Structure 1
């Protein structure tokens, strides 16, 4: 699996759908997810102090995009166990912003993405 594989979901609270309410927005097209993934990978850096200590791990990040691709929020969902790797994961999102605007069919609501970012010395 690639080092970053976004998992998309609408950015609202998860509520059961009541009768007569609109359906959940569609999932982003694969090409849009691919552009997000490429942008994140292009700005990924392995923290020097973690590399020197041989530290590896996967941090799970969640970030929310506005229709124009601006990041509305970003946070660590699950730590890698290494502070510098977690910090770098969040920094990747900041460096990659703004992201491509959401596809037209997704512009009605912000889009939340859960992204695992793996830092491995063996894969380099």
Structure 2
């Protein structure tokens, strides 16, 4: 199943998938349940957040919802362990790492888009 994701999706909005509609919150919970290591940094990479407080709250609420959703004891234990070991310092450290990664991603995208535009312009000029 392929999900279409935009950068500024709120939990009340609905994402379109190939065969059903899945809310952003449900997609986050499904990710949390399927992720082999649902750390804050992995979650930030998944949701591509811009604001620390919202991202932190979303991580904690998704972790709690995933914990309450699953009946699988092994998965439940993994999520409980994650909930107990992730503290504010860990989240802040992961957030700082994420901000550095996000900056690098945005710079690379900008360079790529500039290159694409430049090549398109060169190709347009050569056709004249």
Q: Which has the higher strand share?
A: 1
* TM-score, L = length of structure 2: 0.27
Q: Which has the higher helix share?
A: 2
Tell me: higher relative CO, structure 1 or 2? Use CA pairs within 8 A at least 6 residues apart: 1
